[in-house]
């Protein structure tokens, strides 16, 4: 009986330890304040055309930032690709996304993160005092 109690206690302690460890390692998405945006510039190299390579690279990494809205992109300006996300990514999500763009090699496609620009207090957005999020401002016309 005593042996059974010791085994049961060890099982409970092990389960609690595993649960605590898994919750401490869980990634929580983060985002910037409302009315902010992140602009990411990256390059994609491949033995074939660059356009399908960049689109494939973005498709593989985009799930990291699926909690924010893709405003535009990926757009090619001839030298690099640009993606605009709103609201801005938080620091942890930004590191994960740029790391994916740098580290992921898929089907002979090699990505390279070039730069990240964070913009806050965008024109046309006001801060919502209840949520802290930005909402599009509505112009008021007199008369």
> What is the percent of the chain where pLDDT is above 90?
7
137 falls within a domain: no
8 falls within a domain: no
pLDDT digits (tens, 9 = 90+) for 65-114: 888 888 888 888 888 899 999 988 888 888 888 899 888 777 778 888 99
pLDDT band at 27 (very low <50, low <70, confident <90, very high): low
Please count the structural domains in the chain.
1
Place of tokens 């945006």: 37
CATH number of the structural domain spanning residue 79: 3.30.70
23 falls within a domain: no
Please tell me the pTM assigned to this model.
0.64
Spell 78-94 as b/e; 16+ CB within 10 A means b.
eebbbbbbbbbbbeebb
* pLDDT score, position 84: 93
Phi-psi category of residue 35: left, alpha or beta, with phi > 0 → left and psi -120 to 50 → alpha: left
């Amino acid at each position: 009986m005593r042996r059974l109690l010791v085994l049961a206690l060890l099982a409970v302690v092990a389960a609690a330890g595993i649960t605590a460890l898994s919750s401490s390692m869980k990634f929580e998405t983060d985002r910037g304040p409302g009315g902010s945006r992140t602009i990411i510039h990256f390059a994609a190299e491949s033995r074939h055309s660059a356009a399908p390579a960049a689109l494939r690279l973005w498709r593989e990494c985009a799930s990291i930032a699926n909690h924010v809205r893709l405003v535009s992109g990926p757009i090619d300006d001839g030298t690099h690709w640009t993606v605009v996300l709103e609201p801005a990514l938080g620091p942890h999500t930004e590191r994960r996304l740029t790391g994916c763009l740098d580290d992921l090699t898929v089907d002979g496609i090699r990505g390279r993160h070039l730069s990240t620009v964070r913009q806050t207090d965008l024109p046309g957005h006001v801060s919502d005092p209840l949520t802290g999020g930005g909402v599009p401002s509505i112009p008021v016309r007199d008369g």
